A and B are shown apart, each in its own frame.
Chain A
């Protein structure tokens, strides 16, 4: 991706006039290649050369903004094919599809579902971000649905429509919200570009197969338009999968920017009314390179795994997820419940809280700031020690919430028992099991002991 000094030199006027402060154009070019000077320091570069240079130094996959304000998201912009190489930057987004052929009832139900499946998980919003509104045959109904959704939901619009007259009217309603316009094809692409270019709206391209899609991108780019999203949909699941993978690979591995755009997949179409198939496909395309995944509808059964999977896959591998340091009641903990302490690494928290829930024993979970690592790593890094745990217990206010003075620590850091007891003389420190899976039995025994 990085341009060599000689490549840049070829684009300079080769006048050696020194206006840039360097003795020769070549010397200047070498510095630009190193990133030491801006190309703008040469006042004599032609527009054509500048355009070529911009093209050559642009990211392999373009970042496309969709939506506005609170509902603005970025898609694409990825630089690697595998998350351990660096990190995936822009998570895929989920859409629910509406069409003008749907009855009011169905539309209202979907709107309600989108509203009700919204929650927070480890500090991130879990929800449907996009309303995919497809034009089939009735323009008035189509416009009504757009109005209705605009009134009722905070989402990004994706207008699926190949009829430019209808689209023109639809855009009057929502063009200020930076909607996606999906439906530029071999026949209509010039008109479509004209419709979206003033507002720089993201334009979705649709073609039969990768060859045609590729040549369509070339044509649209030829018109100077580059705010694109690629329709990866094929005739079958297999073809769609191939398309998605090939689009991403062509951009990042072959370094061909023609396919350096986000892609959209209509998982609902491929799953033929089988909701679990839709979950399977949406998972597949979350792991492998989909940018927008369109669903038929949303409910918690679908949303819980899909949003959680996406959150995992798009986590920065260099920075683990953490939970907020705090005191958390589990199973209706009250003034008699014991306290369990563990680290703030989200995975540890989830596993431990899950096992406590399984035990059905009411407990308080105390989560100090431990740097977001596992128990042993935090301990080794000095972030999960006797005094930091002691201080947290004193400052967290847990001593007012429960009369129990039993503090359970992870078995892996049994060595901390003495230190913690020194800093918390009122407390009895109990060493818990090594593995979270043994917590239910441990807690039940602890509870029986308390009653005995």
Chain B
């Protein structure tokens, strides 16, 4: 008997979602297979790798990164441009940490100004992430969506608590894309998609963010959630789960002990920057191989490594 390839045909396909505009627009999704399973069929567009910047000075970031960005980190527009020119990610993710009510509590108007300046400064698509405070995010996104009208940005994220406001502002009033954030459960993911749909958001304008975890921190729930979401689409053609998935990996991996602990405290662990990159690379590689279509990264070395991995596997 000779070996025969095991091939599995899918019944459903991940939606293609465009971010950005003009020549620099990118497409997320489009696959009808598990990641990199090209022996099964169409693997869709290449996994997209974005880079994180903040609207405020990155006080908490590792020293070498602060050093890299020392001339630009005070001005998000310059910072974004610098990242685009130096590291060439597929998109830039601007995180509005300054809007956090527990922090600087910047006004929606201030945020809108910053986002606009960033969108104008770069050619690549812009992903805008809020504060995780649902009420504040809604207020902020309503202003920001208007300010970056025409740039086709992705907003992270609409949640069960604020999807009406975020969905209406980002995707219906100004035709941006909406991130749908649910917490690591296939049914919650589905439910939020349906709710957004009922509100009037086109399924083609949604990118799912179905949870986020660093390797070692309940990451198995994320793996199984994404496994199940993709199998529901590929095996049963579940129309409420056709959206591509984005995972802001860096938001989690740089806050865990492995990446945070200073060298003085855990001498045997060695270089902190290396630990941070390694956590980020491991988590991102894992989530891309499970089914995420896009990830957000913080360190240029992580971006470089993941780019190489994705190129090698596509």
A interface residues (Cβ-Cβ under 8 A, vs B): 82-84, 116, 121, 210-211, 213-215, 218, 236-238, 241-242, 245-246, 249-250, 253-254, 258, 274, 276-277, 279-284, 286-288, 299-302, 304-309, 311-313, 315, 317, 347, 350-351, 353-354, 357-358, 437-438, 441
Contacts and interface: CB of A to CB of B under 8 A. Distances in A.
Contacts of B215: 283, 305-306, 308-309, 312
Contact of B270 (A218, A277, A299, A437): A299
Instruction: Decide if the interface of chain A is mainly helix, strand, loop or mixed.
Output: helix
A242 B39 contact: yes
Contacts of A116: 268
Nearest to B257: A354
A287 B286 contact: yes
Interface string B267-298: 01111001101110111111001100000000
Nearest to A288: B289
B290 A245 contact: no
B275 A357 contact: no
Given A236-B312, A301-B269, 11 more contacts: A211-B3, A237-B313, A245-B37, A276-B281, A276-B302, A287-B289, A299-B270, A304-B278, A305-B283, A317-B220, A350-B218
B39 A82 contact: no
Chain B CB within 10 Å, residue with most, of A236, A253, A280, A354:
A280
A280 B285 contact: yes
A302 B261 CA distance: 15
B91 to A, nearest CB: 20
B286 A309 contact: yes
10 contacts: A116-B268, A241-B36, A250-B3, A276-B301, A283-B215, A300-B268, A304-B269, A312-B223, A317-B224, A441-B102
A230 to B, nearest CB: 12
A213 to B, nearest CB: 8
Contacts of B224: 82-84, 317
Interface residues of B, number: 57
Contact of A277 (B227, B256, B308): B308
Residue from A116, A254, A276 having most chain B Cβ neighbours under 10 A: A276
A438 B102 contact: yes
B281 A280 contact: yes
Interface string B132-148: 10000000000000000
Contacts of B275: 300-301, 304
A349 to B, nearest CB: 10
B162 to A, nearest CB: 15
A280 B258 CA distance: 17
Contacts of A302: 278
Interface in B236-256: 255-256
B216 interface: yes
Contacts of A282: 282
B309 interface: yes
Interface in B1-16: 1-6, 8
Contact of A241 (B5, B221, B223, B313): B313
Contacts of A82: 224, 227-228, 231
A312 B313 CA distance: 24
Given A84-B224, A288-B289, A306-B282, A312 B216 contact: yes
A438 B103 CA distance: 11
B269 A214 contact: no
A351 B286 contact: no
B102 A305 contact: no
B6 A253 contact: yes
B219 interface: yes
A116 B266 CA distance: 13
Given A214-B3, A283-B286, A313 B219 contact: yes
* Interface core residue of A237, A279, A281 (most chain B CB under 10 Å): A279
Contacts of B271: 301
Contacts of A279: 278, 281-282, 285, 305
Given A238-B313, A246-B39, A437-B132, A305 B216 contact: yes
Contacts of B2: 211, 214-215
B50 to A, nearest CB: 17
